[in-house]
Structure 1
Amino acid sequence: MAEQVMVIGVDESEHSFYALDWTLQHFFRPNATPYKLTIVNATLPSIPHGAAFLGSPNLMPTIDADLKKLTNRTVQRAKDICIEHNVQSVETEVVEGDARNVLCDSVEKFHASILIVGSHDYGVVKKMGLGSVSDYCAQHAHCSVMIVKRPPKPMT
């Protein structure tokens, strides 16, 4: 039987790292059903260096460099969380584009049987303006989708 593939979407948010940590605790225990793990980070497209609307042409390389650093930190943190859970065999992929499309495309590309995404738990107004990656994936991904929510912070 072929190994099943699990795709996990991560970004720089604590919600996505919580989802990764939760998934590793629950799906990657000793003697658990083995999954091939693929971590996908969707990034903003590079800014064209001719984009006059941002002002100084010297600003674009700085913004691109900062986005690349953020992406590298995000992917490295995800790898570190995997190492903490003794999950050594993990593939990472960074793809430019809207996270909704990137994750659904990754499901197809890797023939995933499950997609894991975190939830920012936005209210209705923010969801309408921003769109919910988890809602979109639940409707459009061609596999099972698990949305992992962080527990609410206790009131003090």
Structure 2
Amino acid sequence: MRVIVGIDESDESFYALEWATNNLFNGIVGGEPNLVTLVHVHPPSKRYGVAPSAIPAGPGVTAALPSTGVVDSERRAEEQISAAVLSRALEMCSNKVKAETLIVEGDPKDMLCEISEQMKVDLLIVGSRGLGRIKRAFLGSVSDYCAHHAKCPTLIVKPPAKD
């Protein structure tokens, strides 16, 4: 069985991974070990394709852009966050399921659906933050979007109820 688990910095995504490793993967299915791809999607970097640190924005007006050092620093910070998140997720998978990692850039809801289609996965697993209707309408919901747009079955793992 080929599975993708969407992982971000949230406790809900790690709970979804924990739930999946404890409840779905029981060693070997059909003689083949399960393979889980842990996918972390980070937002696009604010890369500016202009070499100088300032460009003309109109008559007598100059717009400042971040230097390449700032952009490189931002990219390194994103890579460190992704590495830390996926390292923690890989540790959770050890001795339970074979796992690989993938880091992509873009909108998480779009990228998870796109990757699951490209990789022809059997199941996409995402956590749920438990947003109410109003917050979900304004903020959007990755899990809701994936449930409606992914071309494979999608499992949304809700966190345990808080007392």
Using the size of structure 1 for normalisation, the TM-score is 0.85
Distance 1:88 1:132 in 2: 28
Deviations 1:27-78 (A, max 9, x none): 1224556532111111111221459788653533332222111111011111
The answer to whether 1:66 aligns with 2:63 is: no
The answer to whether 1:139 aligns with 2:155 is: no
Paired AA for residue 76 in structure 1:
S
How far 1:88 moved relative to its partner? Answer: 5.1
Equivalence for 1:9? 6
Equivalence for 2:124? 115
Structure 2 vs 1, CA of residues 150 and 65 (structure 1 numbering), >3 Å: closer, same or farther?
same
How many residues were matched structurally?
A: 149
Distance 2:41 2:140 in 1: 15
Richer in strand (by share): 2
Greater Cα shift, 9-18 or 31-40? 31-40
How far 1:107 moved relative to its partner? Answer: 1.1
What does residue range 55-134 of structure 1 map to in structure 2 within 5 Å? 56-57=66-67, 58-83=69-94, 86-87=95-96, 89-134=98-143
Richer in helix (by share): 1
Paired AA for residue 132 in structure 2:
G
Aligned-residue Cα RMSD (Å) equals 2.2
Q: In terms of Rg, which structure is larger?
A: 2
Equivalence for 1:44? 43
Distance 2:28 2:96 in 1: 13
Distance 1:118 1:54 in 2: 39
How far 1:146 moved relative to its partner? Answer: 0.6
Deviations 1:119-142 (A, max 9, x none): 011122221111110010000111
Percent of paired sites with the same residue:
36
Q: Is the 8 A contact 2:42 2:108 kept in 1?
A: yes
Point out where structure 2 has 5 or more consecutive residues left out of the alignment. Answer: 55-62
Secondary structure (helix, strand or coil) at the match of 1:11 reads coil
Distance 1:144 1:89 in 2: 20
How far 1:7 moved relative to its partner? Answer: 1.0
